[in-house]
Amino acid sequence: MDCRRSKHVTRHLCLTLCVLSSWSLVQEALGGGNNNKCWFPAIYNFGDSNSDTGAVSAAFTSVRPPNGETFFGTLSGRASDGRLIIDFITEELKLPYVSAYLNSVGSNYRHGANFATGGSSILPGGYSPFHLGLQVSQFIQFKSHTNILFNQLSDNGTDPPLKSGLPRPEEFSKAIYTIDIGQNDLAFGIQHGSMEQVRRSIPHILSQYSQSAQQLYNEGARVFWIHNTGPIGCLPYSYIYYEPKKGNIDANGCVKPHNELALEFNRQLKNQVLFLH
């Protein structure tokens, strides 16, 4: 599927988007095999635990085994025993796995950085202090500081090892910006209010989402990969902490009202940022 430019997005945000609706399309749009339709020198990711590659482990406490053991053979900072979607995307782009911004040990930011943090939400005040707006602020600071440092090292006429781990200033506008967040906004809302209250809050949540995307656009971002939220009603805590009621559980054991809420969130998210077919 070709990357195409949308004419209008909320708040006049013009985006270039790869529209991805299945993993086969992810591979095709990102240039899998012999199909080089999109190529990017770097990836900058924002989100929650679904794409956190080590931020929570660096900021708070290490993610415990068996996480990381199946694919990486050791702790990887991921809340998973294998790879995340962001890892498969970097593989398709022929890029190294993206380092967590908060991880100061062994990180390399030559081809991007990951600002996603487990528990994060779009709105402030959820499970984590690292909401989407703060992640974007971290990116802006990261971009400014690395540009200054890269130019200083270039002006010295040398090519020290430190420079090899820095992003190239001209590549920020050529990178792909991935955002995978929203699940925790719904989950936190369900825990602290009614389903109807959460439903009514979705436009406000997505307005904050758009503001963050606008900030990234203002910083030069032009290609976005927007991931919708998953079936939160199928997460174990949905069943465990919300007493199942007759007619509320589907054949797979998932909480239907929670999944319906996720579908509504995704519908409004699509209307907010995607006007492509």
pLDDT digits (tens, 9 = 90+) for 255-267: 999 999 999 999 9
User: Rounded to two decimals, what is the model's pTM?
Assistant: 0.86
Judged against a pLDDT cut of 80, whether residue 6 lies above it is answered with no
φ/ψ (deg, to 5) at 154: -70, -40
Nearest to 44 by CA among 125, 150, 116: 116
Task: Identify whether the C-beta of residue 136 lies closer than 8 Å to the C-beta of residue 213.
Answer: no
Share above pLDDT 70 across residues of the chain, in percent, rounded to a whole number: 83
Q: Answer yes or no: is pLDDT of 141 > 70.
A: yes
pLDDT at 246: 76
Contact 63, 56 (CB under 8 A): yes
Model confidence at 10: pLDDT above 80: no
The whole-number pLDDT of residue 24 equals 46
Q: Is the pLDDT of residue 244 over 80?
A: no
Q: How confident is the model at residue 18 (pLDDT cuts 50, 70, 90)?
A: very low
When pLDDT is averaged across residues 125-146 and rounded to a whole number, the result is 97
Q: In terms of Cα–Cα distance, which of 54, 156, 56 is closest to 97?
A: 54
| Of the listed ranges 33-42, 112-121, 179-188, the one predicted with least confidence | 33-42
What pLDDT does residue 157 have? 64
Q: In this structure, which CATH number among 1.10.287, 1.10.3470, 3.40.50, 3.30.310 belongs to the domain 4-273?
A: 3.40.50
Q: Tell me, what amino acid is at 192? A: H
DSSP state, 167?
P
The pLDDT of residue 5 is 36
d(Cα 133, Cα 117) in Å, to the nearest integer? 12
The percent of residues above 90 in pLDDT, for the chain, comes to 65
pLDDT band at 15 (very low <50, low <70, confident <90, very high): very low
Q: Is the pLDDT of residue 271 over 80?
A: yes
Predicted local distance difference test score (pLDDT) of residue 205: 97
Instruction: Check whether 46 has a pLDDT greater than 90.
Output: yes
Residue 148: is its pLDDT beyond 90?
Answer: yes
What pLDDT score was predicted for residue 274?
A: 62
Among 1-5, 21-25, 198-202, 226-230, which is the least confidently predicted range? 1-5
d(CA 228, CA 204): 16
pLDDT in tens, 152-168: 988 766 667 789 999 99
pLDDT digits (tens, 9 = 90+) for 55-93: 999 999 888 888 888 899 888 899 888 999 999 999 999
